[in-house]
Amino acid sequence: MTEAVAPERAAPPAASASPPADTPDGVFLIHGLGGTQYDLGSMHKRLKNAGFVTHSLTLPGHGTQPEDLAGVAAEDWIEAVVAKYREVRDAHPRLHVMGMCMGALLAAVLVERERHAKGNLVLLAPPVYIDGWATPWYRDLRPLLYAVPGVGRTLKIEEEDPYGIKNEQLRAIVKAKFERGENFHYRWVPLECIRQVDRLRAILMKSAQRIPCPTLVVHAREDELTSLRSANFLVEKIGGGRARMVVLEDSYHMVCVDNDREIVAKNVLEFFGAALPGATSALANEPKMSREALAAAVAATVAKLAGGDFSGLRDVAIPDVAWVQPGANRMSGAHAGKTFSAFASRITQGHRPRFTAFGTPAFNRGIALVPATFVAERDDGRLESQGALLLAFHGGKLLEARWFADEVEREDAFFGAPEPETPGAESLEAQFDVAAAASKALRRAPDNDTLLALYSLYKQASVGDVAGERPGALDMVNRAKFDAWAQRRGMARDAAMTEYVALVAKLKAADGA
C-alpha cells in the first residue's frame, strides 16, 4: 500500500479586509464518496433558513461517471476543498466547515491544514475506521488487492442494501432508483478509489490531534460502514476541551436523511450558534441583521398580518416558525411547525382575521414590539382586541410571533372555550400520529409510488402546501418527493390526514395477510 503522505504545506494566504458587519455567517459543506454537491441538500436548506450562506463543490471525479474516479488521488480532493475554502473564507465574519462521510475526512484535514480558527467543524459519520456491522470480514485484506497490477481500476465496489439508510420507506425509494439506473449517485466505485480513501484516512489519523477549532462529531451507533470507534478516536485525539460527540440511536450511515435527521439538524444549528424558535429571551443576542434589515423584515411580516394571510407568514419565516396566541379559547396556545399550519387554517376559516392600527415598532436587537389591534369577524359578531405583537427575527427570517392582548377575555368570548375531548374517542390527529408510527413498522416495504404517496400525504398534513425551489435534476430522491408533495397543493389538512390514515391501514392489512 502506498505510504500516506500529507500534501506539502503552504502558509495560508493572509486574510483580506473584514466583511461588512451585517454579512451573515457561512457554512462550507463537503459531500461524500460517489455523491455531488447536492447530496447535502436538506442541510443546505436548514442552514439557509437559519440565516447562513452555504457553499459547496463537487469533488474531482464526481458528478460524471464512476470510471472517472480511477485516476483521482486523495491529494486532488484535498487541493479542491482547500481552494474552495480559500475562495469563500473571507466573505463571512465566521465560516463553519461540515463534511459527510469521506467529506468529513476532507473537512477535518482541511481545517488542520489551514489552521482554521474563524468557525466550527462538524463531522458527520466520519469513516476513520471502515469497520461497521455490514463490512465483510475480509475488509482488512484490501492492501493485498492494491498490490495486484490493474485490479484497482477494474474491480468494482458496489453500493449495496441497506444503502446507509435504516428508514425502510426511504431505502426502498433509493433502491428503486438504483434499479431503474437513475444517475443521482454512483452505484459503484473502482477499488483504486477506496485505496485513495484509505490514504486519506491515514493522513487524518496522523493529523487529528492538530485540529484547532471546536468540533462536533455526529455518529450513528448502528452505522453499517464505520463503528463508533471512529468518533471515539476523533474526540480523543482532538481533545475533550474542543470536541464533543452526538450518538444517534435510530439511523445507519446516512445520518442527514435517516430517522434521526431532525436530531442532526438541531445539533448542527445549535453548534453553529443559530437561534432556534421557542426561546425568545435568547433571540436578541445575535440576530445577524442590521437595523435596516430588521425594519424591512418587520414591514414584510406586518403586511402579511394586515391582509389576514397567516399561512403566508411562512414566506418570511423559518419552516418551524412559532405563533403564541393568548387566552383560554379555541385558538389559544403555542403553535409551531406543523401545528402552526393547523392554527393558520383554523383561525382563518369563518373568522376573517387580520391585524390593523399598527403603532411605531420598538426594536431591541432581533426583537420588535409592535402595538396593534387584532380584528376578527363572522356573521354573528365582530372582535376588536388591542395589544402588541412581539416579533423575533434571525438572519432575516421570522422565528416566533407572540400576541399580547390587553383584554384577553374579549378573545375568549369571541372564539369560545376549547372543545372538550370526548372520552374514548380518538381524535384525527391521534389517529394520524399512530398511523405515522405504524408506517415505520411494516414488514414489507411498499412500492415506490406508495412510498411517495405516504410521504406527500404526511407532509401535506404536517406542513401544508409545499414551498421552496424544486430540487435539481441530480438530486433525484428529493426531486421526486417534492413533485409528489406538490401534487397535493391545496388539499386540506384534515383530508390529508384522513387519506394518510386510510392508506396506512390498507398497507397494514396487506402486511398482515
Q: How far apart are CA 220 and CA 226, in angstroms?
A: 9
| pLDDT for position 7 | 45
Burial grade of 132 (CB within 10 A; 0-12, 13-18, 19 or more): buried
Task: With a cut of 50, say whether residue 371 has pLDDT above it.
Answer: yes
**Which pLDDT belongs to residue 12?**
56
What is the rounded distance in angstroms from the CA atom of residue 425 to the CA atom of residue 478?
37
Q: CATH 3.10.450.50 in the chain, residues?
A: 280-415
Residue 102, C-alpha cell as written in the block: 469521506
Residue 482 CA to residue 467 CA, distance in Å, equals 9
CATH code of 428-512, in short, is 1.20.80.10
The listed CATH number (3.40.50.300, 3.40.190.10, 3.30.470.20, 3.10.450.50) that belongs to domain 280-415: 3.10.450.50
Q: Of residues 151 and 131, which shows the higher confidence score?
A: 131
pLDDT at 138: 53
Average pLDDT over residues 66-81: 92
pLDDT of residue 422: 46
- Output DSSP code: residue 199: H
Identify the pLDDT of residue 2.
40
183-211 residue pLDDT tens = 667 778 888 888 899 999 999 999 999 99
Query: What's the pLDDT at 420?
Result: 60
Sign of CA dihedral 361, 367, 373, 378: positive
Q: What is the pLDDT of residues 294-316, one digit of tens each?
A: 999 999 999 999 999 998 998 89
Q: pLDDT digits over 210-260, tens only?
A: 999 999 999 999 999 999 999 999 999 998 778 989 888 889 999 988 888
The 3-state DSSP class for residue 39 equals: coil
19: pLDDT confidence band, cut at 50, 70 and 90? confident
Kindly provide the b/e burial profile for residues 42-74, where b requires at least 16 CB atoms within 10 angstroms of the residue's own CB.
bbbbbbbbbbbbbbbbbbebbbeebeebbebbb
**Cα–Cα nearest to 142, from 278, 268, 287, 2:** 2
Please give the model's pTM, rounded to 2 decimal places.
0.57
Q: Where in the chain is the domain with CATH 3.40.50.1820?
A: 26-271
Closest CA to 500 of 454, 446, 445, 460: 454
Q: Give the whole-angstrom CA distance, residue 212 versus residue 339.
A: 42
> How confident is the model at residue 341, as a pLDDT?
81
pLDDT at 397 > cutoff 80? yes
Residue whose cell numbers read 423559518: 318
Classified by CATH at the fold level, domain 26-271 comes out as Rossmann fold (3.40.50)
